[in-house]
Each structure stands twice: as structure tokens, then as C-alpha cells.
Amino acid sequence: FDEPNKKATYTISLIYSELYNVLSNMPPEHTEDLGNGQKKTIFQKSVPMSTYLVCFAVHQFDFIESNSKRGIPLRIYVQPQQKHTAVYAANVTKIIFDFFEEYFAINYSLPKLDMIAIPDFGTGAMENWGLITYRETNLLYDPAESSSTNKQRVASVVAHELVHQWFGNIVTMNWWDDLWLNEGFASFFEYIGVNAAESEWEMLDQILIDDVLSVMVDDALLSSHPIIVNVSTPAEITSVFDGISYSKKYLKDNQFKNAKTDDFWKAQAEVSGKQVKEVMDTWTNQMGYPVLQVQKESTIIQSRFILDPSSNPEEPPSPFNYLWNIPLQWYTLTGKNGTDFLNLTKPTGMHEIISIDLPYNSTTDGLLKINTNHVGFYRANYEEPTWDKIIEQIIKKHEVFSVADRTGLIDDGFSLGRASLLNYFVPLNLTKYLKNETEYLPWVTAVKSSLYIENMLKDDNTLYPMFQVKQSSNLGWKDEGEHLERLLRTDVLGLACQMGDEEALSNASQLFNRWLTGARVEPNLRLLVYRYGMQTSGNVSSWEYMFKRYQETPLAQEKDKLMYGLASVENIQLLGRYLNYIKNESLIKSQDVFTVLRYISLNKYGKTMAFDWARMNWEYLVERFTINDRNLGRLIPRITTSYNTELQLWQMNELFYKYPDAGAGKVPRKQALETVETNINWLKNNKATIAQWLQDNVNA
């Protein structure tokens, strides 16, 4: 039974060729020679666990080992030639493992912990108890060849899988509808774990851009789903493993058992003495989230936030009518602050106004900012004169707002503009302060917001050139500085290249041409150089040289950068050749098929080619990967994210009509279509406004 609540103990035995070694969840108990070149290993009996955590590996790998504070052996298994790339993961595993044992106040349950890097692995990683499997990009790091982004990714995925050894493995969700009890905690605690190992990375701030703001896009669609979602079929179970999905008492009470969401609220209530369930049910049992509108300076009214203003905010029906119990933090620039509660004492009619008045006076208290440090899962909107004052203040002295608040203001501003709840002049004017911004989080948020507009306008020959403005940057093209400065440089230079900044593209092209003659490119600049060098000066010989390098490099992270570079060539014949390689497993690994298609779809020529290839080869993809494959289910949403015409929408509808099971469950199909419908409406609603702003500000 693949039922998470049917926990059992396992005694695993494997018969295998003596040329190989074997691993499983538990250490080996006994190995015997069977003759004829065969061996048999019996492993120790496991603790009670769910079937989905059972694992074994037959391999010819080497390992490096460290020991936890309590003496638990922590091993990382890799291909022999890659042993040096496992050192960072080994070091970070020990630090985070010891930290979690102390933090959760529960010892790790097994006598050993192995991690293994699989050369062709469809998912990112899997938390099998005592034997965690990884895609190579998520475990192996070469300090001479890998980027800062790669390093952070390794630490984050290792931490995420280590959290699961407690949340998910010791205490497991009772059924897949409570998947968030596994994934939500792993996603949250991974940041705390990495912060213990790499404190200067400011991971507790980065959670905002990596997990919170990114999910707020999906959760503002009608095709979203509640955190707790009824699932019954394999396709539906697959579809809830998406972006939407802290109590020691909870772990202790449910050790080696299964738990439901209410068990967690009960543990929280007993520890805190607060009515946790009453507050949290409005967040876990309905999709979406609110926007809080500040009216008459201090009155706050909530309503459901939806990206597409033409959507019906009452659909689909919700038991709480899309109203939430909201803990609310606020402050003023004169130092006044408070915590209030927007309370629903009972399920309320959709049109009944739930509001509160803050003890705030604009004359004496100065500017009001709600959602302190953007910790609340909601958007905040102000009346336009208040926004104007915020912009005036942030341009004059942006440090009066914290890094998280500056990030939140940018994200809220652009999202409210996208939803037609705010004139686009407001967020666009807000970006004028960025010339003084030196922090990573606000910049990465501004880049993401700008790239959405850039994607929407790319096919407009009149408007798009106005949008391609020079991006001033003092960061330069030297790969130097602390971790966050390196991340910031990559993002800012990437934006400059994407916007067609001539100086940035020229630098990328020069470094690319030097690379073609054997010069080394610094790790944090490589993706930019491969992408934009290939885009601006790529030809058949440079493309073939890059493909040769792709085949030769043993480092998966470098392969990934080269894959993106190959997809960036503005040559239809070469893109067609790349698409044809997908069916040749000796050229493109199975794990990389969907990555290649996504990278090609980001090319202005490849946008149509990737979709057409997927459409024409759908039956081949289903046969190769199976209909319920999670990555196949995400393919169409991922490669059509910038579609914004009625013709493109029609083509997608035709595909889903021909293959009604395309995608893992209904949700990804709905999300794909709704995203494109939202894009079409966005263009209709905002094109003229953005053209006017560009006219007034860029060409003035």
C-alpha cells in the first residue's frame, strides 16, 4: 500500500553482483557470498515508516564521511571522479544536522544517514529515511567552478531534506490532503538550518523572496487551491506537490505516528494558550489571501486579492467567503507601532465589510506602514496620496524602511498594479529610488517585476524599444565581494542584458568570445556570458563548441548553465537541432528534458517552437515519462508563462481538448490557461498607461 498512514517496519535484503555495493535505509546486518559473482546483504530492521520512504541503492560510488556530535556517521556517496565536489555538502550537513537535533530536542532516529547524488534523477531530492537521494545539481558543489547561487541551492536542499528526517519521517501526514504538514515545515525550517551554517547569507530575510512572494502569484489565481486539499487520484496527489503547499510538542506527541492538521493546531494551542485553530482554519481551508486597503488614513478593510480584475472573487465558493482572521502589525515613521487583529467571529456574508480602525493620526504620527517587515501573508494598499508620500520618502531616505519592507513595497506595488487596484505609475515611480539601493532583496524583487512587464511588451515593436533603457550599475563585471553582493551583481547585470543595455551586452559578448578561445569565465558571470554571449554573437561553430563543452563537463551545475546558453541562440535551425536532441538520451538526460524545453521557451524564437514541439510530441512524452509525472504536468504551465495573445490561448485549449489528461491533475491545466488569460487582460488594461509613463520618464 502506498498509503502514508500504513506505517510498518521493513527488513530489506538485496542480491547483487559482487562488482557493486549496496545501501538501504538501515545499516547492513549481514552480508554473505552466494558464489557465481553474487552477494546477498540483509539490512537491519527499520523503525516504523511509511512506504514512500523505503529506499535502496546499488552502486559503484565512493563516499566521504563526517560524524555528528553524537557520533552518527553522515556519508555522501558520489561518482569517484566527483569526490571533491561533495566536501561542501558534507561540511554543511554536519552543521545543520547537529543544529536540528538540538533545535527540535529530538534525536535523529536511525543509526546512520547516507546521501547519494544520482546522475540522472527526475526530481530535485527525496527524503528517504536514512538514505536521501539527490539530483547532482542539488548536492555537489565545486568552489572553483560553481556559482554562489549553486552553493546556496546545495545548502538549502540539504537543509530541506534534513528537516524531513523529523517533519515527514518521524511524524508523517495522515493522508496526502495534509501534505503541507510535511512540505510546509521543511520549506520553513530549511532557512533556519542554512542560517545556522551560513549566517551572513541572511536566509531569514531571503525566505521572503524565495518562498513567500513567489507563491503569492500562484495563490492570486482562481485556479489555486487551499493548503488542505481533498485528493483521491494519483494525478491529484501529484498536483499538490507545488509551491503552495514550530512545535517540539507536536513532534514528541506524534513520534513514529501520522498526524492531521488539527493535531498540529492542538499542540500549538496547548503551548501558546491561544485559539490557534480558529485563526488558522481561514488560511488552510480556503485558497487565496487578502489585500488590506487603508482608507481615510486609518481604516483597514479586507477583500480577496486576485491578479485578474475580470475574475469573480466569489469563485469557487469558500466556507469563509474569502475573509480571513488576520494578525496585523503596523508602525509609523515617528516610532509608533502596534499589533491588531482583523477578526471574523463567524462566517460572514461576502459583502459584509470587516474593518478595523487603527489608533493612528497622520498629522502627528507621520507615515503609516502596515505589515511590518512583510511577515503577513497579504497585500497592503493605500490611497494614492499616501503612496506618493511613501515614494517621496523612499527616494529621499530609503533606509527608514527595513530591507524587507522595501522589498514588500515593491512587490505589493507591482502586484496591485497588475490587479488594476493601483495606477501603474505608482510602482514604476517607486523604482526611481533603486539607483540608491544596494541590498539584494529589493533589487531581485524589482528585477522580477520588471521582467514580467518586459515579457509582456517583448512582441510590441513600438513600445518595447522604449522599455529597453540603460541600467546604471556600479557593481561592474568582476566576480568579487561577499555572497549577497555576488548574487546582486548577477541579478542587476542580468536585468541590464535582458533590457538590451548595449554596454552590458557588449561586455557579455567580449567575455563569450574570449571563452571560445579558451579563457576562463568567473563562476558567477558564466550564466550571463553563456546566455547573452550566445544571444548576441552565437553562430553554428560557437554553438557546437558550447555543446561539446556541455558533453565534456562532469559538473552538473556547469551543464545546466551551458544548457541555458545553448537555448539562447537566436537561430531557428540550431534551436530545431537542440529540440531534436531531446529524443537522444545519450545527448540529453531524461532529467534535463523539461529543463531544455523551458530554457528554449525563454528565447524569443523558441517561445513558439518549444510549445509546438511539446504539442506534436505529447504522446511520446507521456510514453517516456508517464501521464502522472510531476515535471510533465508542469511543462505546459512553465513554457507558456509569457503567452499573451488569443491565438496562443486557443492553441493551448486545443492541446488540452485533444489530450484532456495533459498535466498532472486539473489544477496545472487551469493555472496555465488562467495565467495566459490574465496576461491578455493585463495588456488590454495596462499597455497605454505604461506607454504614457515611458513617454514621460524615459524619453523625457
d(CA 501, CA 470): 5
List all residues 6 or more positions away from 520 whose beta carbon is below 8 Å from its beta carbon: none
Which residue type sits at 202? E
160 carries a ligand binding annotation: yes
Give ∠ CA 697-454-430 in degrees, rounded to 5. Answer: 45
Beta bridge partners of 380: 292
- Residue 40: CB atoms within 10 A of its CB come to 14
Which residue among 101, 127, 136, 161 is the active-site one?
A: 161
Grid coordinates of 297: 488614513
* Alpha helix segments (H runs only) across 375-437: 384-396, 403-418, 425-430
Phi, psi of 57 (to 5 degrees): -140, 135
Burial 508-547 (b: 16+ CB within 10 A, else e): bbebbeebeeeeebebbbbbbbbbbbbbbbbeeebbeebb
482 is catalytic: no
d(CA 590, CA 586): 9
Helix axes of 87-104 and 148-164: crossing angle, nearest 10 degrees: 40
20: left (phi over 0), alpha (psi -120 to 50) or beta: beta
Phi, psi of 242 (to 5 degrees): -125, -170
**How would you list the strands of the sheet with 28-35, edge to edge?**
13-17, 38-43, 28-35
Q: For 46, which DSSP code?
A: P
Which residue type sits at 547? F
CB 243 within 8 A of CB 209: no
CB 133 within 8 A of CB 126: yes
CB 386 within 8 A of CB 371: no
225 carries a ligand binding annotation: no
Q: How would DSSP label each residue in 126-148?
A: E--TTEEEEEGGGT---TTT--H
d(CA 355, CA 333): 23
84 carries a ligand binding annotation: no
The dihedral sign for the CA sequence 484, 487, 491, 493: positive
Q: Which residue reads 551545475 in cell numbers?
A: 557
CB 426 within 8 A of CB 391: yes
Q: For 373, which DSSP code?
A: G
Q: Which residue reads 532529467 in cell numbers?
A: 591
CB 80 within 8 A of CB 224: no
Q: Which residue reads 507591482 in cell numbers?
A: 414
Collapsing DSSP states into helix, strand and coil, what is residue 42? strand
Helix axes of 606-616 and 646-658: crossing angle, nearest 10 degrees: 20
- The CA–CA distances, whole Å, from 93 to 70, 196, 642 equal 14, 11, 38
Binding-site annotation, residues for Zn(2+): 160, 164, 183
Binding-site annotation, residues: 160, 164, 183
Query: Which are the catalytic amino acids?
Result: 161
